[in-house]
Structure 1
Amino acid sequence: MIDIGINLTNQRFHEDLELVIENAKLSGVNALMVTGTSIEESQQALALCLQHPDYLYCTAGIHPHDAKTFDDKSLESLRKLAVNKQVKAIGECGLDFNRNFSTPAEQEFSFVQQLELAVELQLPVFMHERDANERFIELLKPYIKQLPNAVLHCFTGSQADLERCLALDLHIGITGWICDERRGGELIDLVKLIPQDRLMIETDGPYLLPRSMRPKPKSSRNEPKYLPYIAQAVANARGESLKQLVQQTEQNSKLFFKL
């Protein structure tokens, strides 16, 4: 298994990071993709990866929440980070019109700038989208054929959203959202529609602890050791064996990120 989205730079991992990594390995997770969400977080992600170069890899980007921080120096900072072989994608970038921590205009500018950088560097993009699917697709579409690969991580949208994404041949990342009885019911049905070679799995820890885990962990922190539980939920929803699902998603992730 490969966890394609884990926020290891989050402060909730600071006290026991080495244990989190060790427990991931013991749980059958063979690589972690550490998410970069700002210049600072991307720098921290790369520093972590350099300490564990055969196990940790990362993205470098500016999340839509942080798009307001995008300035004249941002692209050059991302370009310098992306030269390192541990950096496997540009992102997390995209649009989030749910919370609008940055204005839509700031988000769109930051997203397009990062798409252009990914094309220039010929790196995949690791993307976020919430309540903005049609505009997200509209901005992405002119670049998609120039990009080596693109994934929408933590998919939580509708069938129409998924169909628009698959029409552009996007990869789709599935998290513990599928284990949430309050919000994940639609995703259980939709995950069947994702082609085998487009599906990847992730925890997005420390967020989105699978709510249906029994016994329920004492901590609300999600972490990579719980990826097998998410994999089983996805396999069940798709009517596949766990072994089949794990082999396919790991192969997809290795090809996507060139691991």
Structure 2
Amino acid sequence: MFCHERDAFDSMVELSTPHLGQLPPVVIHCFTGKAHQAEKYLQMGFYIGLTGYLWKDKRSDGVRHRLQREKLRLYRLLLETDGPFMFPNIQAKKHHASVIESLTQESCDILKKYSNFQRTEPSAMCIINELVAAFIGKEPKEVADKAFQNAVNIFNLR
């Protein structure tokens, strides 16, 4: 079940808590909330969908902060483009050298070839993966593998 919850965290928790044992796997799609909200959703057994929004999330209590400082667990994270929105602004990366350095040449080449840099497209998935990897200090392959396995689990693709 994909839930596009926007500024409705308290209501989402209140409405879903009584039904936790009956719900299918739940994804909080395109999560843009605060770190403590992500933690609560994870405690409830939900998955968190991360997009290029991470690039814009500069709040000290945001999920990006949690990824960078406290290593939000990968076991229930998904990567999403949320196309055409939430594009990770490549030009803004000059302000974050560690993220630029983490981008592989392959990802940059894919983006230059297939992306119009105006909206999120499937080709941006590699950048979203590498942003998450850079923020949590993991290798992009590890993040991609775990996100893939999470998707396999959610959609019962075994």
Q: Aligning the two structures, in what range does the TM-score lie when normalised by the shorter sequence?
A: 0.7 to 0.9
What percentage of residue pairs aligned between the two structures are identical? 34
Which segment is superposed worse, 130-139 or 187-196?
187-196
Aligned pair 1:209/2:87, yes or no?
Answer: yes
Q: 1:224 to 1:230 in 2, by over 3 A?
A: same
Residue by residue over 1:112-157, the C-alpha shift from the partner in whole angstroms, topping out at 9 and shown as x without a partner, is xxxxxxxxxxxxx111111110111000111121123111011111
Q: Which has the higher strand share?
A: 1
Tell me the secondary structure at the aligned position of residue 172 of structure 1.
strand
Aligned pair 1:155/2:31, yes or no?
Answer: yes
Shift of residue 163, structure 1, vs aligned partner: 2.5
Aligned pair 1:127/2:3, yes or no?
Answer: yes
Aligned pair 1:230/2:106, yes or no?
Answer: no
Number of aligned positions between the proteins: 133
Quick check: 2:50–2:80 contact (8 Å CA) kept in 1?
yes
Shift of residue 258, structure 1, vs aligned partner: 1.4
Cα RMSD, aligned residues only: 2.0
Query: Matches of 1:193 and 1:127 in 2, distance apart?
Result: 24
Uncovered stretches (5+) of structure 1, i.e. residues with no partner: 1-124
Query: Matches of 1:144 and 1:212 in 2, distance apart?
Result: 39
Tell me the secondary structure at the aligned position of residue 173 of structure 1.
strand
Counterpart pick for 1:242 among 122, 131, 140: 140
The match for 2:97 is: none
The match for 2:43 is: 167
Q: 1:184 to 1:128 in 2, by over 3 A?
A: farther
| Structure 2 length-normalised TM | 0.75
Q: Runs of 4 or more off by more than 4 Å in structure 1?
A: 213-219
Q: 1:232 to 1:134 in 2, by over 3 A?
A: same
Aligned amino acid, residue 127 of structure 1 = C
Quick check: 2:51–2:86 contact (8 Å CA) kept in 1?
yes
